[in-house]
Amino acid sequence: MDSEITRRSLILGSLALLTSGCTSTGREWGAPRFSAYNMHPPVDRRYRRQRVRYDTSQPAGTIVVDTSQRFLYAVEGNGWATRYGVGIGEEGRTVKGMATIGRKADWPAWTPTDDMMRRKPRLVKYAGGVPGGPNNPLGARALYLYRGGQDTMLRLHGTNEPWSIGTAVSSGCIRLTNDDIIHLYERTPVGTTVLVM
């Protein structure tokens, strides 16, 4: 008898939820509710991740960032790459040339640099750092760019502002949607060569 009441209660409770329009928000533990591609304003269609023909002299496994076109290419070889839309640094802030992925972080913490706080005093309130999570400007993942074994302080990272993909807005880092940085992160080992041009 008790099991029938429980089963009946569950069925009626489920129907009530369906008819009331209540659904899970998808925001448990701070998870983003929607893919960046479905947000309003959505990421421009041309910046959506896709596999493309890409002829380059760079070997398979290299990451190439084309700042003028706002694309990042994960070179696969044989004339193919996975292309991601990116946001880049404000004029003169994105460093060009070769680097290496020296470290990776899942939901990285962020602390603005002294230079960032001088240029944007509103960032001083974050001088103590921001823990990893959905409100962190580095988003879901970060790939740290190193040169000569030293951290450049520049990153390939996610963003909590997906509408900024395709723009020149950062302090020098290359940003991707959280969906895309997770995709890239899972396929990119420490030691990967990155060419920013």
Catalytic residues: 157, 173
What are φ and ψ of residue 36, in 5° steps? -60, -25
* Cβ proximity of 66 and 144 under 8 Å: no
CA–CA distance, 197 with 194 (Å, rounded to integer):
10
- Which residue in this structure is represented by tokens 């750092």? 129
The conformation of residue 21, written as its DSSP 8-state character, comes to T
CA distance 60 to 34: 32
**CA distance linking residue 140 with residue 157, whole number of Å:** 8
What CA–CA distances, in Å, run from 16 to 3, 8, 118?
Answer: 20, 12, 54
Q: How far apart are CA 180 and CA 110, in angstroms?
A: 19
